[in-house]
């Protein structure tokens, strides 16, 4: 499916991403990927990834949308729970096995984003990607207690990385390749 059509479908689920940034992520993903997302809100990223993936795991504290359409596109597992819980980590890996990508968009704290990176980075295959959402350090993010930028700065200093930043007062996606 063309990326513009994927974006259109994501809008039906009220995607919480900046189009120009998220499209750069989608361009990096091979068809029939195995992916995992931590945090999904209204399902915009979930539906997008389901159109590329053969297998997708979503982890969030709650589920506020119907996943039946997602399940029609790929093998999908939605785990309701805290991504740092050892049982959640185990359940996620038992479903997915090695990952082509991991998309971290969870609690948005420095500690939470960094723990997700540490807990799940070994799941990602060589050549696969780890993405962090909301990496820009802006007043908008700080006022919402979003400090992913701090975790991202810790991670990127040890890796070759890419940043997709549109210049908006929020957002930004960082990528490392394993």
Give the 3-state secondary structure of 27-43: HHCCCCEEEEEECCCCC
Q: Is the pLDDT of residue 13 over 90?
A: yes
Predicted confidence at residue 168, as pLDDT, reads 85
What would you report as the CA-atom Rg of the chain, rounded to the nearest whole angstrom? 15
Give yes or no for residue 38 having a pLDDT over 90.
Answer: yes
- pTM for the whole structure: 0.97
- Rounded Cα distance, 120 and 60, in Å: 15
User: What number is the average pLDDT over the span 65-70?
Assistant: 95
Whether 172 has a pLDDT exceeding 90, the answer reads: yes
pLDDT tens for 71-109 read 999 999 999 999 999 999 999 999 999 999 999 999 999
Which 8-state DSSP code applies to residue 17? S
CA dist 25 → 49, 123, 129, 162, 164 (Å)? 10, 19, 9, 10, 8
How far, in Å, CA of 131 to CA of 152, rounded? 9
Per the prediction, the chain carries an average pLDDT of 96
Q: Rounded mean pLDDT of 122-141?
A: 96
Dist. CA 138–CA 48, nearest whole Å: 26
> How does strand 33-38 pair with strand 99-104?
parallel
3-state SS class at 164? strand
Please list the residues that pair with 79 across neighbouring strands: 59
Q: What is the DSSP string of 65-125?
A: S--HHHHHHSEEEEEES-TTSHHHHHHHHHHH-SEEEEEE-SS-SHHHHHHHHHHHGGGEE
Q: Residue 147 has what pLDDT? A: 94
Query: SS3 of 52, please?
Result: coil
Q: Is the dihedral of CA 147, 162, 122, 91 positive or negative?
A: positive
Domains of the chain, CATH where assigned: 3-177 (3.40.50.150)
Q: How far apart are CA 159 and CA 14, in angstroms?
A: 32
């Amino acid at each position: 499916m063309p990326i513009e059509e994927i974006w259109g479908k994501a809008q039906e689920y009220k995607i919480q991403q900046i189009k120009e940034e998220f499209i750069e992520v989608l361009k990096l993903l091979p068809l029939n990927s195995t992916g995992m997302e931590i945090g999904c809100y209204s399902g915009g990223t979930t539906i997008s990834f389901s159109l590329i993936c053969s297998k997708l795991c979503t982890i969030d504290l709650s589920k506020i949308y119907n996943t039946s359409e997602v399940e029609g596109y790929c093998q999908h597992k939605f785990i309701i729970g805290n991504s740092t819980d050892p049982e959640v980590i185990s359940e996620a890996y038992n479903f997915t096995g090695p990952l082509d990508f991991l998309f971290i968009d969870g609690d948005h704290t420095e500690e939470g984003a960094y723990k997700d990176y540490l807990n799940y980075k070994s799941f990602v295959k060589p050549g696969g990607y780890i993405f962090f959402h909301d990496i820009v350090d802006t007043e908008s993010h700080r006022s919402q207690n979003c400090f992913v930028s701090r975790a991202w700065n810790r991670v990127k200093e040890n890796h070759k990385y890419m940043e997709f930043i549109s210049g908006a007062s929020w957002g930004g996606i960082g990528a490392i390749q394993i």
